[in-house]
Structure 1
Amino acid sequence: MSRSRRRPGRCRNPNWFGQMAVQLDLGLHRLGFGMEELDHLISDPQWCAEMVPDLMLAHLPSGNDRLSQRNVADRDRFLKMTAQLSGFRKSVAASSGIFLGAEFHFDVVRPGSALFGINPMRGSANPMLPVVTLESRIIQRRHLKAGTRFGYDRSFTAEQDMLVGIVSFGAMDGVLFSPRPGQKISVFLDTHTAPVIGSGGSDTLFVDLSDVPDRACREGQIVSLINHQHDLETCAFEHGITEYELLARLGSRLPRKTCPIVLPPCIGKQGAINTRDQTSR
C-alpha cells in the first residue's frame, strides 16, 4: 500500500483540530509525496473533505548551489504540484533557498542551519555572522621535562620543557579535538592561542601553554574551542566533516546557553531590518 493510501487513516482523529502541512518530494526521495502520490491523495474525496492542508512545503535538492539550473526547474515543479489545491501557504526555501532570491520565498521560509552561522551557499562568501561558541576550562596544568612522553600509548614526546594544560573536553562531548598528521589545531585563551597536542581522550585534551602568559592560562581559565576567530567552518574543515555534522555531534553533556547578539558597527538597525524582512516572507 502506498504512503498516500495510509496517510489519511493515520491523521484522522476526531479530537484533533490543528493545522496540517503536506510535504512534497522534489527529487530528494527522502520524505514527502511525489506527483503520482499527490494525484492519488487529491482524488480521495474523504481526504479532501477532512484534511485540507494549511501549508504545502518541499526541500530544494540543489538549493545550496545558487548556479544550478535545477533550482528553477524544481521551483516550477513545486508550483505545478501545488496548483492542484488552493487556500494554503507555500514553502520551498530552507536556509539555502532563502538566498536564491525572492521568487523562492513564497509565503514561508525555513531558516535552519544558517541560524547557527553555517554558510548556506556552497562556494560563496558566508553571508551569516558566526554565532556559535564552544568553551571549556583548564582543569589542571603540568610542567613536563624535555623527553617526557605522555598521552595514550605515550604517543607524544615533549621536545623541550613545556607547560601542558588539561582541558575538560573530549570525545564523549561529541568531537575528538585531536590534530591529524601534518595539521595543527589551536584553542584560544583571551587573545592567545595554544596548540592542541597529543591524543585526545574521552573527557580531556592536551594543549601546549608554553607560549601563553601565566595570567591567561591558570587553572579554571576559560578556553574557546569554537569562536569568531576559529569558527564552525574552520573547525569542521580541520576534522574533515561538514559544519552541520560538527554541530550535530556536540553531545548532550554540553550545557547550552543562549546569549543576545550584539551586531558589529557595520550592521546598523536598517541592515537588521532588511535581513529580517528577507527571511519572514
Structure 2
Amino acid sequence: MAAPAIATGYGGRLTVDLGALKRNWQALDKVSRGALTGAVVKADAYGTGIAKSGKALFDAGARFFFVATPDEGVALRAALPDDSHIFILDGLFPGAAPLYVGERLMPCLSSVPMLEEWLSACLQSNQALPAALHFDTGINRLGFRLNETVMVKRMIEQIGFAPQMIMSHLACADFAGHEKNRTQLALFSSVMAQFPNIPASLANSAALMTSRETHFQLVRPGIALYGGRAVAGRRNPMHPVVTLEAPILQIKDVKTGESVGYGATQTMVRDSRLAIVAIGYADGFFRSLSSSNQRAGTKVVVNGQVVPLVGRVSMDMIGVDVTELNQIPSPGDMVEIIGKQITVDDHADAAGTIGYEILTSLKGRYARQYVESDS
C-alpha cells in the first residue's frame, strides 16, 4: 500500500523577485561609477537564498561576492561561474586553508595568526594565494589593529605577497553625518598609504549611497540590494525584493471588553471583526511586533487595505483587525505581511530593530518561490 501523500502549500508564501534584485544592483553600480560593485550575500543572501540570488546578481554584472563563512562560500561557489570572486568576511578559520584553496575562496585576513597561517599555505603551495587584509579603523570587531600595520606590511613583503585588497568597515555609515565616518575614513586613508597600488574597499550600502569619497576601488552593498533601508532618515529608493504572504485561518467576531491573545494584553474597545492569520514567531515574525492597549503593534495588508495587528504574536498565528474592510475576507485568503505597502523596514520600526534582522529571520514554514519582474 502506497504511503499517503504529504500535504504541502497550506502555509505562508515567500516570493523573491530576482528582477528587482538585479535592478537594485545595477542602480547601485551606476552610483559607484569608477569603483567595482560587489555584492554581499551572507546569511543566505539576507534570507533570499544564496544560490538563486547569487546567480541573479552574477547575471546582473556582479563578479565580487562577500559571504561570512567558508560554508557559505562553498555553497556560493557551486552556484556561480568560474569567473566569480568570493571573499570570506569572517577570515581564515584555523586549519581551513586547504578548503579555501580548493574552493577558490579568499579570506579577509584580520589577525596576525590568520596572516601567518595563510602565508604558510602560500609557501607550501609555492603560489601567492589571493586574500584581503582587513584593518579595524574603529568598529572593534574583526580587523588588524592600526598599530599592527607596519608588522603586517613587513610580513607580506618578506615573501613578496601582495593582497588582492585592503579593507575596513564603517560603524556608523547609516547615519551619513556621523563624525565617526570621517574619523574612520582618515584612519583608513593612513592604512592605504602603507599599501600603495593595492585596491581598497570601505563602503557598504549606506556609504555607497551617501559618500563618494569612500568608494575607492570596490564597494560592498548588502541590505540595499534586497530592498532594505540603508540610510537612516532618508527615503529608501530601492525596489522591494521580498513579498511575504500568509493565509487567513478564521474570521472571528469579538465583543467590546473581550481580550485577544496570550496575556490578555489588548482588550477590544468596540465590537470588532478579526482575521486569524497563520504566521507567528516560529516563522520569524517577531513577538516584539505585538500590540497592546498601551502600544500599537505592526500592520499588515488585507484585500489591499492596511490593518493593525491585535494582541500578542504567538508561535503560529496572529490576529488582525478587519472591521473596517470594505470586503470581508474569507479563510484561505492570503494576507500580505511584507510587500510594497508594508515593508521590512516598517516591521523593523515597529519591533525596534532593523530591516536586516527582519529579512534574515525569514526562515519559517513558507513555500518559497522566485519570480523575475521586468519593472
Q: Which TM-score band applies after superposition, normalised by the shorter structure?
A: 0.7 to 0.9
1:230 aligns with 2:342: yes
Give the counterpart of 2:308 among 195, 199, 223: 195
Alignment of 1:179-190 (within 5 A): 179-180=291-292, 181-190=294-303
Secondary structure, counterpart of 1:169 in structure 2: coil
Query: What is the rounded CA distance, in whole Å, between the counterparts of 2:193 and 2:274 in structure 1?
Result: 65
Give the counterpart of 1:93 among 199, 203, 207: 203
Q: If the length of structure 2 is used for normalisation, what is the TM-score?
A: 0.60
Query: What is the rounded CA distance, in whole Å, between the counterparts of 1:41 and 1:245 in structure 2?
Result: 35
Give the counterpart of 2:116 among 3, 9, 23: 9
Percent same amino acid among aligned pairs? 27
Query: What is the rounded CA distance, in whole Å, between the counterparts of 1:71 and 1:150 in structure 2?
Result: 46
Q: Name structure 2 gaps, 5 residues minimum.
A: 1-109
Secondary structure, counterpart of 2:238 in structure 1: coil
**Aligned 8 A contact 1:134 1:226 in 2:** yes
Query: What is the rounded CA distance, in whole Å, between the counterparts of 2:111 and 2:232 in structure 1?
Result: 34
Secondary structure, counterpart of 1:32 in structure 2: coil
Q: Is the alpha carbon distance of 1:164 and 1:55 closer, same or farther for their aligned partners in structure 2, counting shifts above 3 Å?
A: same
**Which whole-Å deviations, capped at 9, do the CAs of 1:17-61 have from their partners, x for residues lacking one?**
75211111111111111222121111226x652642101111123
Shift of 1:140: 2.7
Shift of 1:89: 1.6
Q: Is the alpha carbon distance of 1:150 and 1:33 closer, same or farther for their aligned partners in structure 2, counting shifts above 3 Å?
A: closer
The number of equivalent residue pairs is 259
Alignment of 1:157-196 (within 5 A): 157=267, 162-174=272-284, 175-176=286-287, 177-180=289-292, 181-196=294-309
Shift of 1:144: 4.7
Query: What is the rounded CA distance, in whole Å, between the counterparts of 1:133 and 1:68 in structure 2?
Result: 33
Alignment of 1:48-87 (within 5 A): 48-49=158-159, 51-87=161-197
Which structure shows the bigger proportion of residues in helix conformation?
2
Secondary structure, counterpart of 2:371 in structure 1: coil
**Aligned 8 A contact 2:303 2:329 in 1:** no
**Which whole-Å deviations, capped at 9, do the CAs of 1:232-257 have from their partners, x for residues lacking one?**
22222222222223333333544544
Q: Which has the larger radius of gyration?
A: 1
Q: Is the alpha carbon distance of 1:87 and 1:199 closer, same or farther for their aligned partners in structure 2, counting shifts above 3 Å?
A: same
- The answer to which structure, 1 or 2, has the higher relative contact order (CA under 8 A, 6+ apart) is 2
**Aligned 8 A contact 1:20 1:55 in 2:** yes
Residue in 1 that maps onto 2:42:
none
Q: Name structure 1 gaps, 5 residues minimum.
A: 264-281
Query: What is the rounded CA distance, in whole Å, between the counterparts of 1:51 and 1:255 in structure 2?
Result: 48
**Aligned 8 A contact 1:54 1:87 in 2:** no
Q: Which moved more, 1:143-152 or 1:89-98?
A: 143-152
Query: What is the rounded CA distance, in whole Å, between the counterparts of 1:234 and 1:36 in structure 2?
Result: 42
Query: What is the rounded CA distance, in whole Å, between the counterparts of 1:112 and 1:94 in structure 2?
Result: 7
**Aligned 8 A contact 1:193 1:212 in 2:** no
